[in-house]
Structure 1
Amino acid sequence: MTTPVMNWRAIDADPRFQALHRKKTFFLWGLMVFSIIYYFLLPIGAAYFTDIFKIKVWGPVNIGILFALSEFVVAWFIAVIYSRRANAEFDSMAQEIINDAHNIGS
């Protein structure tokens, strides 16, 4: 039994692959920009908005600590958003290309 040879250049040139790549890239850039902005709000806030970050919420816990901890929540939120989008849209597009991969470029 031989393994079929894939024409990777033809797969790369396939309009369905191009659409998948374009949608995924656009979506990931949006998530990345959001996460970078949110990440840098912590040092910016700690440096320039110290009065806000010093506000006590409960005991020794202040806004700065809560904002720092929220970075973890936001990271998980971004992961959930990506996985839902991938499951709903990207995976089905990729599966269609995979199912037809042996016919692409023949």
Structure 2
Amino acid sequence: MTKEQIEHVRNNPKYQKLVKERSKFAWTLSIIMLVVYYAFILTIAFDPSILGTKMGDGVMTIGIPIGIAIIIIAFALTGIYVKRANGEFDELSRQVKEELKDIA
């Protein structure tokens, strides 16, 4: 790419929107995951008896399903990101590329 093309992309409002929205969305999902994860870790650190509470008459504690739920939340957040990236973000990216072809 030439310097002119790079400047055109950087100044393109669609590219700026893409970068801004993608970054904001990624940070939002990251913060959600960090809050969930650190809530679990802080519970282990400061009140492990909560997670050690037995479920029913068996040996399984409430910490096991909560740990599994955290893993499921991580997969779900990844899926949410991929769905939006493959839809909205890819469409904006395609539009920026098309406009770049016009000036080439």
TM range (shorter): 0.7 to 0.9
TM-score (norm 2): 0.84
SS at match of 2:76: helix
Deviation at 1:18, TM superposition (A): 0.2
**Matched residues, percent identical?**
24
Aligned counterpart, 1:68: 67
Does residue 26 (structure 1) correspond to residue 24 (structure 2)? The answer is yes
Aligned counterpart, 2:15: 17
Deviation at 1:34, TM superposition (A): 0.5
Aligned counterpart, 1:92: 91
Greater strand fraction, Structure 1 or Structure 2: 1
Structure 1 residue ranges, 4+ long, deviating more than 6 angstroms after superposition: none
Structure 2 unaligned regions, length at least 5: none
Q: Which amino acid aligns with 2:72?
A: V
Please provide the CA RMSD for this pair.
1.7
TM-score (norm 1): 0.83
Greater helix fraction, Structure 1 or Structure 2: 2
Asked if structure 2 preserves the Cα contact closer than 8 Å seen for 1:16 and 1:97, the reply is: yes
Alignment coverage as a number of residue pairs: 101
